[in-house]
Amino acid sequence: MEFDGSVYKVLPVVKGTSARGEWVKQDVVFELPGEYSRKACVSFWGDKAEDAAKLREGEELNISVNIESREFNGRWFTELRAWKITRKAEAVSVSAPATDFPPIMSDDIPYKNDSVDDIPF
């Protein structure tokens, strides 16, 4: 799933150790555009946590996430795990059409004089 949003708040880094080793998680709250202000907390794990720590409040981003739910003691918990972040400025500059072509002059157009008839039939 993808959505556009602005960084509302970068929460503190959470670190820990599990049976698989050390882990690091960074949660970021995004404000989603629309008629009613909605917020979504997205988790960044591992090396993505370093990227999330560099985000600043107010930045406009496109975020790609996986939605996961899991059960613990009869209760369900849902998490949005980010796997890609694209800054809006980057997306605009990549998709903008090239406009640095020189203008076409009338002297550059071949066969502009229709009065010459070289066709033999």
Instruction: Fold for 2-88, please state it.
Output: OB fold (Dihydrolipoamide Acetyltransferase, E2P) (2.40.50)
Q: Residue 106 has which token pair?
A: 């009338």
What pLDDT score was predicted for residue 52? 92
pLDDT in tens, 28-79: 999 999 889 899 999 999 999 998 999 999 999 999 999 999 999 999 999 9
Q: What is the pLDDT of residue 74?
A: 95
- Give the tens place of pLDDT for each residue, 91-109: 444 444 555 555 555 555 5
Rounded to 5°, the CA angle 53-85-94 comes to 130
How much is the pLDDT for 88? 79
Q: Indicate the domain borders of the chain.
A: 2-88
